[in-house]
Each structure stands twice: as C-alpha cells, then as structure tokens.
Structure 1
Amino acid sequence: MCGRYTLLAEEVEILKEFGLEHQIPDYTPRYNIAPGQKVLAIIHDGDQKRAGFLKWGLVPFWAKDPKIGYKMINARSETAHEKPSFKNLLKQKRCLIVADSFYEWQRTDNGKQAKRISLKERKLFAFAGLWDKWKQDEEELYTCTILTKKANTFMEPIHDRMPIILPKEQQDNWIEPVKWEPEEAHDFVTQLTLDDLDAYNVSDYVNSAKNEGPECIQSLT
C-alpha cells in the first residue's frame, strides 16, 4: 500500500517539471502527507493541465457516507477495472499525484522500521491516481486514491505492495483527456516500467501523521 509520502520541492520546480502554466494557490512543501489530508494533483481539463488539491481517500459520487474515504486511500491496479468504485474513474478521471518520496514500514525482529523511498534518477515524480467528485446537499468533496501494485524486486523485502509511479514519458498519457475503457487503463499500468529506487531508514518520528518537519526524513545512518 501507500499510506504516507513527501513533497518537498519548491513550487517553481513543480511548475517546470510538469509543464504547468499557472501557479499553485496555497502550496506548501510537506514532509509527512497522510490520508485524509489535501494532496497536490494534476488533471487535464481538455484545454490544459491544471494543478490543485484533492482530499486523499476516495469518496465515490454514489457514496452515502464520506467516511468511506478513509478505507479507499489506495486502489489495487490488478482489480480496479472490475470494481464499481474505480472502473468508471479509469475511463476519464485519471490524475497525477505529485510526490518526491514515500514511506513504508518494514517488519524486522525489533518491530517495524520506517523507510523513505525515492527514485534514483528523478527528484520529482507522480503516482498514478484516480479522482471523483462527491456532493450531498450543499457539501462537495473532491477526493482521490493512489493505484498500487505487487512489489517489485527492490520493494519485496520492505513490503508486498507499492504505489504505481509513472515513468516521466507516460505522465501526460495517463491524464490525456480521452475516454478509455477500464481494461485499457488496466493494460496501460500493467505494462509500465519503473525507474530504479533507493531507500534509507528514518526514525519513528514519522510514524505519527501529526509530526511534520525535517526530522521525518533524517537518515538513521
């Protein structure tokens, strides 16, 4: 799964990396982004790419209770195209969720060890995400989920699942403003290749979503 990540880049770096023309209102770098919080996402509205904030934890438009979002921070890519909550979103509500590393907790003989994981060759990257709009009376929510897959060889010793990180050359393809069949989206993410990853141990300070700051990413070695 993917339950915590970072985005430390300055706004100008994000605009340049993703080819965005407009500034990002209220953007602040973050050391410990957690479910239920606002996350920076990019969509294509048919005319241009736009960046804004979505709440992490998908609330499908048909949900009766928005609390369902806390159970839907991730979507399994292997079956998303078959699930009512996700398959229609794969058609035309695909988004980029911007990050520069993520955390995972490895089981050890001494308990769980927090690790920070990033790409070796790229500072900024994007998770493959899905988004939806939920409305009830006067309340509106724009929410998202991160697609995950079975861990690759690098991640297997750490955790059995991992987020889908889009290759740089496939980011725009993922959010292109065309309608896909759910099976097409499934095939797209299945065939993706991944850049090499790197990881190092961090302290249990990051374990609490309330904690924020450089201590979250400080190496233990």
Structure 2
Amino acid sequence: MCGRFNVIDDPRTRDLLETLGIKARLHTRYNIAPTEEIQVILSEDGAPRLRNMLWWLTPGWVKEPGTRYSMFNARAETLSSSRAFRAPFRHQRCIVPASSFIEWKSEDGHKVPYDIQLQDAAFAFAAIWDHWGEGAEAFHSCAIITTEATPAFRAIHNRQPVMLPRDCIQRWLDPEIEGSDLSDLLQPMLPGELEVFASDDHINNSRHKEAPRHLAEPVRLG
C-alpha cells in the first residue's frame, strides 16, 4: 500500500519534471497523508501538466464527498471491475511524483516506519483521477494504484505502489489509450534499486511534517 509520502524540490524531482517538459517546480512537503492536497501530473491538451488534487478519490457520481471508504489507494487487480475506479482507469490517469514513501513493518510488536527511496531518481506513482461537483464546490481527486509486492519488496510489505519507469510515463498518461491496454504496467516491478531507511516513529503521526529521521544506513532492495 502507500499511505504516506514525501516530496522534495531537488535535482531528482526537477529531472522528472524536465523529462516530461514541465517547467514548474514541486513544493517540498513531508509526511503527506491521505485527504491532503497533492501535486499530480496529468495530460491536458496533449501535454503533461501539474495540477493540485485531493489525495482521496471521490467518484463523480456520488451525491456528496466523504471518507467512509478508503479511497486513497486503488488495487490494480480491481481497476476494471470497481464501480469507483473503472471509468477513471479508462482515460483519467495521472502520476504522483514523490521523493520517497513510508511503509510500516511490525517488528517485535512494534510498528517500525521505513522511508523508501529510489537510489538515483524520483518516483512516478501510477494513479487515477476523477472530478466531482460543479461551480465553487468542484474539485479533482486521485488515488495511487497499488499492486502485489515484488519478491524483494515483500521483506517490507505484501503490497507496493505501482512505480512507473520513465519510459512508460507518457504511455500511462495518454488518455487516448484504453486502461485495459496498460495491464503490463501494473505488474509487480521496481524501476530501479531501492534504498530503505529505518526511521524514527515520530513520523507515525501525520501532523508531524518534518523530514524522516533515519536511524541507520539504508538496506538496498532490487
């Protein structure tokens, strides 16, 4: 799963945006949690653009927004069958740029947070988006897609966000491509070697917006 992530305006995220032809910069933020507003990249008028969205998908057909159901992640296995996800999956796809994400592992009865980074690049998480409401009440929202963990990642968790390689991003964003033709991108894979840092549990509280405090040298996966 993916329940917290960090974004840093640094050479890695700038390189991701430049690769997509985006001149804007990301805002540095730590310990981003579901229901918060985040920056995503989607295709508008044939080109990638940055847009702010709520990280908690609200289907356009619901009568009113709510958080009764967990809608910040969307399982890859049910994208085509879920009433909430199947329409966005067809043509309303985006990516969530991230510098790292947090995952928890139970160790000796204690939940240990791990800060997970790509060794030399920013993440591009596959996501879907939807639009709700009209006029002043209207907003966009999104969900990060998760899939089964790779054998290497299972040491941390049995699910992982779908992490797109750079050369697959444009294909994922293209609204002319049917979601059903992108199933190969949703398979468990890693876009590169991961660095996994055991971190201080200060980050367990989503109100704490400081950078993760790493407790040891990273373990490498991938």
Same fold (TM over 0.5): yes
CA distance, structure 2, for counterparts of residue 102 and residue 192 of structure 1: 16
AA aligned opposite 1:55 = L
Give every structure 1 segment of 4 or more consecutive aligned residues whose post-TM-superposition deviation is greater than 6 Å. none
Q: How high is the TM-score relative to the length of structure 1?
A: 0.88
SS at match of 2:133: strand
CA distance, structure 1, for counterparts of residue 82 and residue 145 of structure 2: 13
Moved more, 171-180 or 191-200: 191-200
Moved more, 199-208 or 188-197: 188-197
Unaligned runs of 5+ in 2: 217-222
SS at match of 2:45: coil
1:1-221 to 2 correspondences below 5 Å? 1-10=1-10, 12-13=14-15, 15-21=17-23, 23=24, 27-68=26-67, 71-120=70-119, 122-135=120-133, 138-180=136-178, 182-190=179-187, 194-214=191-211, 216=212, 218-221=213-216
Residues 1:97 and 1:69: Cα distance change in structure 2 (over 3 Å) = farther
CA distance, structure 1, for counterparts of residue 168 and residue 177 of structure 2: 16
Q: How high is the TM-score relative to the length of structure 2?
A: 0.88
Deviation at 1:65, TM superposition (A): 2.8
Contact kept in structure 2, 1:57 and 1:70, CA below 8 Å: no
Deviation at 1:146, TM superposition (A): 0.4
SS at match of 1:184: helix
Percent identical among aligned pairs is: 30
CA distance, structure 1, for counterparts of residue 192 and residue 116 of structure 2: 12
Deviation at 1:104, TM superposition (A): 0.3
Moved more, 188-197 or 72-81: 188-197
Contact kept in structure 1, 2:95 and 2:126, CA below 8 Å: yes
Contact kept in structure 2, 1:97 and 1:127, CA below 8 Å: yes
CA distance, structure 2, for counterparts of residue 86 and residue 14 of structure 1: 26
Deviation at 1:31, TM superposition (A): 1.5
SS at match of 2:102: strand
Contact kept in structure 1, 2:5 and 2:31, CA below 8 Å: yes
SS at match of 2:77: coil
Count of residues in correspondence between the two structures: 214
